[in-house]
Chains A and B, each alone.
Chain A
């Protein structure tokens, strides 16, 4: 079973627009991460936010975390065609030795 649920399942935007993806999870966490996957290949780590953090930035990425609502959001600003990919949130398990992924959001950026 999967811990997280991403919303929306798919998102299509024009180049230059912002893209927002949301993730909800079920159990207490130590941290939450976002990964990107291009065309069914390997995942690339984007950003990690710890449970005691509320917001974090990395380049065009902004991640928020609300532990009271067990939810996170990923904002990609000024999107580019190269941002077209699937985006997954992942939480750690209680032992810290595995990542628990949601089903992902498919982002398409049209040029």
Chain B
């Protein structure tokens, strides 16, 4: 167990809807990163937040957005859901400048 929690564990949405996923960082970690993992593939970096500011973004469209709160917890929002957004969404926390990231159990999103 890493101390990083995510909610919900599973979610089913329909195309065009919006979804919010939540992540609670491990104590003492001020950096949160989000990854998307499609079935049979490795995780792909969506974005990272540090001190409530976006600190790097991967190749994802603007309908993927995020927030980080003063307690370092974080949200991932996805608007206008598409079928290809079906995936496992992973949150990872770390102290800044530490390479190792600590992952939560993930939220499995299914878009119908």
- B45–A100 contact, CB under 8 A? yes
Interface residue stretch chosen among A11-19, A54-62, A73-81, A101-109 = A101-109
Shortest C-beta distance, A92 to chain B (Å), equals 6
- A41–B106 contact, CB under 8 A? yes
CB-defined contacts of B99 to chain A, threshold 8 Å = 30-31, 33, 48, 92, 96
CB 8 Å contact bits of A89-103 with B (1 = contact, 0 = none) = 010110111111111
A interface residues, tally (CB under 8 Å): 28
- B2–A2 contact, CB under 8 A? no
Shortest C-beta distance, A56 to chain B (Å), equals 13
Q: Decide if B90 is an interface residue (CB 8 Å cutoff).
A: yes
CA distance A43 to B106 in the complex (A): 9
A48-B100, A98-B48 given; name 16 further pairs at CB < 8 Å.
A4-B42, A31-B99, A40-B88, A40-B108, A41-B105, A42-B106, A43-B92, A45-B101, A48-B99, A88-B43, A97-B33, A97-B48, A98-B56, A99-B33, A100-B45, A101-B44
